[in-house]
Amino acid sequence: GEDVEQSLFLSVREGDSSVINCTYTDSSSTYLYWYKQEPGAGLQLLTYIFSNMDMKQDQRLTVLLNKKDKHLSLRIADTQTGDSAIYFCAENLSGGYNKLIFGAGTRLAVHP
Amino acid sequence: SAVISQKPSRDICQRGTSLTIQCQVDSQVTMMFWYRQQPGQSLTLIATANQGSEATYESGFVIDKFPISRPNLTFSTLTVSNMSPEDSSIYLCSVALAGGITDTQYFGPGTRLTVL
């Protein structure tokens, strides 16, 4: 069935790079997304990648997509304390229906 | 993107009562969605709010429990009926923008509901 999996927790030192990983099941997904949720807040769209791309870079964010392995990653360069949040990976299901399937979220903790 | 607001931002309710959550968008959108995020969990789609027709509910969610209105292209409401403590969650609306990358959803700030 439809499933998106993420590791639940990541701890990094300020200034280091963070890599958050995600695997998904629907090989026909057109778009894959990364959302950020800060404590007590809604979801903020961070970035997305179209399924025919391998990589997308946006300032400190780099998204890598391996379609063969159905693996998506988000790299945050020079991680700051303001990056502490829960990061959700989501896939858009095929079939022309805008249904997003979310992973459980990865809690990123940035420490000095 | 779009500016999305929700009211109320939070509420504490007694079991057996109902709460209506409003979602307002600053531009016309074709598709609006309602999600539930239970404590410490990910998001689960409740339903798609269709303008001019009944909402489309996902498995496990029914209209009697979560009636939805979509009177126009900028507004929707979700009612949580006959609440129990298990309904304590964050409820989020999202929109998919027409004319852009229509598969991309933008979320409101959420409504944090606590049922006693």
Q: Could you read off the pLDDT of B27-63 as tens digits, one per residue?
A: 888 889 999 999 888 899 999 998 888 899 999 999 9
In angstroms, the CA B106 to CA B55 distance is 19
Angle (nearest 5°) at CA B68 between B31 and B97? 15
pLDDT of residue A41: 83
Q: What percentage of chain A exceeds 90 in pLDDT?
A: 69
In contact, A98 and A92? CB cutoff 8 Å = yes
Residues 74-93 in A contacting B (C-alpha not used; CB under 8 Å)? 88, 92
pLDDT of residue A36: 96
B95's CB contacts (< 8 A; 6+ apart) are B2, B4, B25, B29, B31, B32, B33, B105, B106
pLDDT of residue A25: 86
Nearest C-alpha of chain A: how many angstroms from B16? 26
Any idea how long chain B is?
Answer: 116
CB contact under 8 A, B45 and A88: no
**Which of A50, A100, A101, A106 best probes binding to B when mutated, by most B CB atoms within 10 angstroms?**
A100
Which of A31-35, A38-42, A80-84, B78-82 has the weakest average pLDDT?
A38-42
Q: In what order do the strands lie in the sheet with B4-7?
A: B4-7, B19-25, B75-80, B68-72
Q: How many CB atoms lie within 10 A of CB A11?
A: 11
Nearest C-alpha of chain A: how many angstroms from B56? 11
pLDDT of residue A96: 53
Q: What is the mean pLDDT of residues A69-83?
A: 96
Task: Inform me whether the pLDDT recorded for A1 exceeds 60.
Answer: no
What SS3 state is found at B1?
Answer: coil
What is the rounded average pLDDT for all residues in chain B? Answer: 91
Tokens 């939805």, residue located:
B68
